[in-house]
Structure 1
Amino acid sequence: MDACYMLNRFHHDRHNLLEYLLSSGLIRSRSAASIDLAGVDLDSISPDYVIECILSGSDFDPSEATRRYFESLRYPITAISSQGKPLFFLSSPDPAGSPPHRAAPSVSTTEIAGKSTVHLQIIPDVSSEINVLSTSENGIDNIASEINEVNEVSRSEKGIRNVPNKFNGVSMSENGTDSIEVSMEGHKPANIVDTTSLNLPELTTGLRDVDMQETAYEVLLACILPTLPQSFSAQPPIPEEKKKDKKSLLLKRLRSKKEGKKEGPGPPSEPEICYPDILNLIRAQMEISEAMDELMKQGLRSFSQRKGDEQISIPFISLELLHSISKLDFQTERSRTHFIKRQANILEELLLCSANTDSNMRTSLGILLTKIRSSEEWVVNSGDSQVEVLTVIQRYASMLADSAPKFNLHGESCCWTSSYYFNMRLYEKLLCTIFDVLEEGQIVEEAEDILELMKLTWATLGVTQELHDALIVWVLFEKFNETGQVLLLKYALREIENVISKSSYESNEEAYVNSILCSIEEDGHKRNLNLVDTVVFKISAWCRFQLEDYHLHFSQDNYPVFGDVVKLMVMLGTQYHDKFEVMRVLAPGTNLEMKMLHFFVEKSIQAACNHVTKMSDNIASSGSHPLAVIANELDLIAEKEFTKFSTILCSYYSEAGRVAFILLHLFYGERLKPFLEEITHLSEPLNAVLSAANNLELSLARKLYSLYGESVESPMNQYVDPYQIPNFSSPLILQWIQAQHEKILEWTNRAVELEDWEPLSSNKKQANSAVEVFRIMEETIEQFFSSNLPMDTIHLRFLLIGISRSLEAYVLHIVDQQVDKTILYPSKPILTRHSESTNHFIKRKHIEQRELEEKVTVKLKSLTVLKLCVKLNTLRYIRNQLDSMEDSITESWRHLQLGLSFSDYFPCIFKGHKFTSSTKNFLATDQSVDELFTVFDDVRKSSIEASEKILDFIGARAIFLDLRQSFLFSLYRGSVDQARSEIFIPQLDQVLDRICDLIIDELRDQVVLSICRASMEGFIWILLDGGPSRAFSESNVEHMQEDLTILKDLFIANGHGLPPDEVEMESKLVHGILDLYALKTEMIIEMLMHASEQANGNSKPAVGTRTGKDAQTLLRVLCHKKERGASKFLKLHYQFPRSSEYDDLPESNQTPKLPSLSGIFKRSQSIDWSSTLTRQGSLKSFKKKFQEAASEIRKKPW
């Protein structure tokens, strides 16, 4: 909407508001209880004064109100804002800062041609009107909002007008004031054209918008009344419900045109137009009161009867109304005064300003119109005086009406050309009645009937079909511009096709249309165009303004409009092809239409890039690198271009998408290249820039491939310059990975050294250090892949090597903490023969226990059964996490490579090669990646080996160290019957319970099996190396077998523990040894002889092997055999000392101490057969003695 419309709207609203305030009883009058509005000119009183009277309760003085109003006109206008009241000059609506030091210029009188000046009523300028509407300090909110609208109007008067809020892509609420100012400065078109009005010649009499609306209705009545029945009167208004249920017939037809005709019965025939109903609807649409409507009909009914089929002229309508309507016909004096002034202004506009009027006649008419305009004088001079004045004016109007026509058109009158600007404005008001006043932007159902009725005014207003088509396009476009209703633009698009398709007219009609001139300003120069060309030009100028920065003007709410605007511009804009200069890239041989669209794409992309650059400068202070911000914003622009604009633009210009994306690539590349040349190391800001640049290039490549496929042949490829990010990022990534390796390794060593090997929680039974190590590794991996930089297998291999080395260092630290389990075994006591002690006072020899080294003792503190369980859980956790990490890295790598599949797109089009995007090489890539993960196999292998060592050690720890006193040193000591299994089974059961609570389910059976195996070894140690205090008879075997069964049942645990087969396998040797104790001594000696003969045949007897029937086992069975024959045999042939001479019990209140590792083979009989032979003599001499003893036994009975 233009400034004139807004100003008239403000006049109307202010008028109604003041009328309400003065008649509501809120204000007192000095002379009466209520204020007589008949004597008050509401257009000349100060609203500030009225509000002050209401707030203070003081009396209203009309003279003071008038004085305050005219006094306010001397000051510059102000606009209310949060920062205060910025001031404006009267001559310009732009902010002027501080108040001016000189008085504002006064409004001069209108000079009429011929140097004869007549004081006419001048329309108030915008500044004074805003001053009238400005609120006081305690002003009203809605008035303040109207002031803000006027500020927008003043901005539009300069030609820098935004699309209304419902259509503009950038709203104040979304981007703020600053962003709008920046965008408008950065994206201002080269030629700004005022697209808010047709720029018809201005009215000189100050007729307001409401005056023109009433006049248009009067013209319509004068033209339609002759066709109505004599009994026609005002019809009742259309109910609100009916208005709300109306659908737009024009929009229905628009949709039917797009959807196509459907089969079925044809539409019903159109009913005949009911003029009374349509006229009543028009009256409601034009907001004409019923009283005024009746008054107009009353005054024009006799006039229409007299005229009949004669052509009606607007001056005669005004003269007839002045003549036929008396003072008593008006309800208020104010309405009568307004009516008379309006008619006088119409006559002045049409008669006094005519070029055919000479100077003397102008003077005379001016005096007569002044009498009419003077309300009091016109009332006093009633009767003959009024008739005389009107007769003189009518005579002059008839003289003008009888002037020869210029174009010899049917029905042409002088008013067609002399006051065309007035007529076109009236017709525009009539056309606006097709828009529903109750529903913004909607067309009433009776629109076509209304338009058909408007044809009756063509002869009076000088409207032809071509002018009608152009004006209907204009009002549709204006209403769309005001409301943002997309269907209005679509309908205007269809109608404008009719305008430009009519290329041939009659010469006279064409000459007449060319005489309807409008003024336009372009490139700082004014020129005139006919009204049709003006409509086309202004709409195309508006389209150009929108398309030169379509990224700014088309937001999410009005994307559907873009296609229609482009279509409009394609139809209208090619005639101005000389204005579409191309800035950068353009393929040769491009036609005018493509050149125009190419221009819009370049212009909009450049404007969007400039806006991003300005925005990045403001964001740079927040810590983000400007280049990273620019790249991210350009990516958003590219996405918007691809999803919203490219499809539509490419339908008219196939290279539109390529132009947009190559320009974006080129724009960022010009800023990125200098930056890349200065980088030396990878930092967080640098990584952000490289990542954003790489993402932008890949995004542009994917979009170009989506639009144009593998085809890269285009003249615009010469502007492509790849960023070559890999050349800069590859060495920097390797440096970064190396730094991360050192960080991870340092953290791993620190974490594992501080680890106390306690479970993390009842659910997470691994050590905290392993969790921390993997957390650091996962953060590194996440940073590695989130960098979004181009990478190859070298970078991945380097990363995996660093991870595996850190994990190997962790596992190695666990292994280094382990000790040999043989250190835990008690020293084997000296071999003796059983003998009963007869002298209890003899001093026995004490067998010393082995003492552990200090460093071994320190290590054993961290090798408790529970800590060992945590270590086993941790090693299993490492293997599980390693598998998960491998899967995660593989998936991330595949995703990364898939995203980088377009990394060669720009290099290919730069070199002119064909680009092929496929996944056929992914299989080979996956195989090469799988080979890289073999470095993890070393970690798994070392972890498994460490677990096996711990499993082998944990059983020995539990049995030979933790249960040494209750099991090894107590079971069967002194007597089998007095020291059986019940002395250690409860403690062993507790150990197993604690282990099962702490160890993870996957490792439970392995740990329990290790305890079971160690228990059987301990049982064997008791049976064969139990020392001088243990001796077993054949009768004890049954009890010992029962104890063994109890021990096995403990590990089987009624089917909830180890499998019975495994337990039986582990106890097989124990059963064999117990069976030996059940044999007779002669049988054992014979078996010993046989085993010795077999051992003699082997040059290198097995060391430490025990089968249950080997010489080593049989000899020790004889040593612990509680039988006289066995003792005699050992004394005769081995000279073993008696068991009663030694005491192998540990000292009281002391933990048994084992001899050092170096003394194992020096002071005791070793379990190794080779060590026994070393102590007795050479192997050859021992064989000889043993053979002699065997032959002697055979000869002598026991």
Structure 2
Amino acid sequence: MDGDSKDVNGCKEKTMDSAAAGEVGDHSNGEEYSESNALLPPRRGGMSRKLNKPRMKVRWNDSNGNNLAEILEFQPREDGFTSIRIWDSESRFIFELEMLKKLDVSDSGDEEADSCSCIIILLCYYNDCQRRSKIGSMICCYTTQFLAMCPSDILYCFGHLSVARPDYHVDVFENDLVWPFNKLDGIDRDNVRETAYEIFFTACRSSPGFGGRNALAFYSSSNNDNADGASGPKPNGVVMTPTSRIKRALGLKMLKRSPSRRMSSGGNSGSNPSSPSSHCSSGSSPALSYTLPSPRPRRPMTSAEIMRQQMKVTEQSDNRLRKTLMRTLVGQMGRRAETIILPLELLRHLKPSEFTDANEYHLWQKRQLKILEAGLLLHPSIALDKSNTFAMRLREIIRGCESKPIDTGKNSDTMRTLCNSVVSLSWRSANGTPTDVCHWADGFPLNIHIYIALLQAIFDVRDETLVLDEVDELLELMKKTWSTLGITRPVHNVCFTWALFQQYVVTAQLEPDLLCAAHAMLAEVANDAKKPDREAVYVKLLSSVLSSMQGWAEKRLLHYHDYFQRGTVGQVENLLPLALSASKILGEDVTITEGAGKNEGDILVVDSSGDRVDYYIRCSVRNAFAKVLENGNLKEVKGEVSEALLQLAKETEDLALKERESFSPILKKWHPTAVGVAAVTLHNCYGTMLKQYLGGVSTLTSETIGVLHRAGKLEKVLVQMVVEDSADCDDGGKAIVREMVPFEVDSIIMNLLKKWVDERLKKQKECLSRAKESETWNPRSKTEPYAQSAVELMKQAKETVEEFFEIPIGVTEDLVQDLAAGLEHIFQDYITFVASCGSKQSYLPQLPPLTRCNRDSKFVKLWKRATPCSVVGEDMNHIGPHEAHHPRPSTSRGTQRLYIRLNTLHYLFSHLHSLDKVLSLSPRVTPPTSNRFSSSRSYSNSSSYFELANSGIEAACQHVSEVAAYRLIFLDSASVFYDCLYVCDVANARIRPALRVLKQNLTLLCAIVTDRAQALAMKEVMRAAFEAFLMVLLAGGSSRVFYRSDHEMIEEDFESLKKVFCACGEGLIAENVVEREAEPVEGVIALMSQITEQLVEDFSIVTCETSGIGVMGSGQKLPMPPTTGRWNRADPNTILRVLCHRNDRPANQFLKRTFQLAKRK
């Protein structure tokens, strides 16, 4: 398009640089399609000026924005009479292309008209796979090269001849189709195509239309009124109604075009039929009748003309070929084609003067030499020795032609050497015997390249998705090249199958009939493949072709979710049988022997065992799932991963439903459980992702529960699909169901829940461990007189229970029991820790040895009465006069800490009760799944989850209260109670000072201990005080002696002690309880009031009874009664101790005589 402005058909065209910016249009995306088409320009120069219509420069771009052509666009106009737009197209046409007859320069007298190759009306529907745009315009174009960039799907309109675009081999749709025949170095497709036509024409030279006597011509089937479509020959050899046995066998439809389908100018039979302007329309639309000129006389096209048009051979090339054959075959018209070395003959007979320029001749000469090099040196049919002299000379000549043409004159040494070398190499035979066929084009893969180029001529150049109706005749003519190219029927079948399949691919897969035809041809290929004595070259060819076809098909079948959308799903039904057939042939029939005479034998090239359809389904579904996963952008942040998995589950379910609705109905023709296989595959894919997700889940969260519930829902959908799809299977679908590894959502949730509970219990145990290490039993505050560790432990327990019920799952009573059991175990451990405070025995004084009182003389008695006991005096002086009237409590810090322990136990008890109510009354709890829990609770006749802990608290409270009481009495109050009471003399060591201190201690106890624990604590203090009182009377040691007359004062002191407990704490201890606990003490006091003789008698009787002696005999001694610690008036050891503390002679003598007890010092 570059260059100066020119006047084309009278249309003054400006260069693009000078065009106004506002006049430049971009048709890369095109305008919306309108049925108003553009105005047809005149066919004669100068007539366009009469249109008086605005014209604008337009740039035509491809989808990438690359400039393809610069054109003039004529705007549509309305008819002056009818007010309708001229050349409105009918809506049924998608593509329209009209080519007018080439302008005749000699008739027009306009030299500039020679620059215009054609005038085009173009309504183009551009189809780029998924993206479509519409362009409508009428253009005036410089050159037909613009057509090379037009879309592939250009249909003819009004039945007129159109110019084809170049072949599809550079099309984007062929990029993923592997060329199975290896490449030819230095030879492009155009070179192969031209050589193929030369060989074809040479082989068919004696046939009608190629120089024979009668030319065959073909009319369209619509030209015959015969309803049965039968063909009938005319006397001149014209077939009135071409019918195709091959098209019927392959399922290809007849074109059924107008009678002008294959017509040539009647006045110029020798013109180039492939020239774009050599054919014009004789049947025009009514709307064109007043604009288009009258058509010239037409005649049917011969087979030669059809092939020239189909193979895009120029008139000059055709004429040169005819001349060469005429010169070569002078006097040898019967010479067979396979004996002609065509490139050599062309080089010999064609001179540079017969070409447009030297460059054209040089390129043509290089093509011929490259063909010879490929057929004789690079790919010979008979193996060539590297040291072959002729081969070396031929290589030198070919290298010399690279820079300049070689001299082909008769006297040229180079030409003589070339002829000798080529002839010698061509007429070689495998075993050295003479042969009647020359071998210059039958070597693999050169012969296949050439034959494929011939086979591609059967596809209509105007719509390359269609096969010509004359395919039978053309293939029959092509058969004449077999001897030259070394083609056999099996090789032809393979190549023809490839040609059909390749054409389907490179034409954007628009015509499924081509695919079905290729599949039909595979049946012939399969039959050939089963035949014995197959040549290695054939097996190699078959393997490479089928592998390429299978690879292309399987690339789509393994990703059919990506390649086939809702509108193109039906293509799977055509592609799948082809892939299966190719796979079957490869797996069963294609073997090659690796080397001659080797012991390895046949090596299987492809193993097609197994269910391919099953494999396709699984792979495609996995790939579709992977694509969904990739688009989901799964992140490592757990929150986002949970959301992504929820979305992934939804899209997986959608993918399964899409598979069932769209693809499975087709795939079930080959696989009975196609839906089930897809569902199982998706189930396993999602299960893998779920497993990876759960591998990173350390604790149970609401997000995790949501993911698991959604996974469970997805699993139910997929399982249902499998069950429904497998209903008709022999095993009921058990085999395919076994492939599904269950998600086990419920089990996973239970395990995660148990893990969650274990983690919470672990935190509780950690809290307990810290308490054991750091608890000091100091109160939190005056208002919270209990241990800090108990507060923390119970707080964590409540949080655990609350979070437990917030988990969005069905909570069963079994789960609640498991949680409660774990908590209870921790509480029991803590209760044991609280109760670990020693025992009361550690505070009881040791019992002194039993001794008898030593009765004092009268002088000693009078002295003691004059000087009271010094011990009591010293002790009272130590208390001081102020403390005697206002005594302070003697409760130690240790005893107060025991009170805190007691409070802590009651704190636990009260909060365990509230925690138990939460567990028991929660509406989230569902009935138990087993009788384990209910039976265990009914066995204990309790409705509490913490029955054992509650029992433990009660026992711990009893123990701590007891220890605290004995510590208070025997340790904290020892100085005013056990160590001081009745020492030396009862009258001077009464209980009143001890009672004052006791009251203060009890007041402090009530201030520290919580209300619910005060009664038990007070009761234990009472028991300890009564125990101390008894020990003073019975185990007071050598510092205490009692007279029978002292019992009245002792009884009075004990009554005062009882009143303290009856009056303390506003009835914390009932009077009857005090009386019951006081009975042992009162019994001992009663013994102290008895005379010594009575005591001795009672002691003897009770001792004999308890020891089993019965009646004492003469000479028998009473046994020493054991110390039981359970002192009461019926206990012999208690009576004995009263006697030991009785200060009179009878008691002293009885003890000396009976037990030989020592005197007190």
**Structures share fold, TM-score greater than 0.5:** no
Q: TM-score scaled to structure 2, two decimals? A: 0.39
- Structure with greater helix percent: 1
Greater Cα radius of gyration, structure 1 or 2: 2
TM-score by length of 1: 0.38
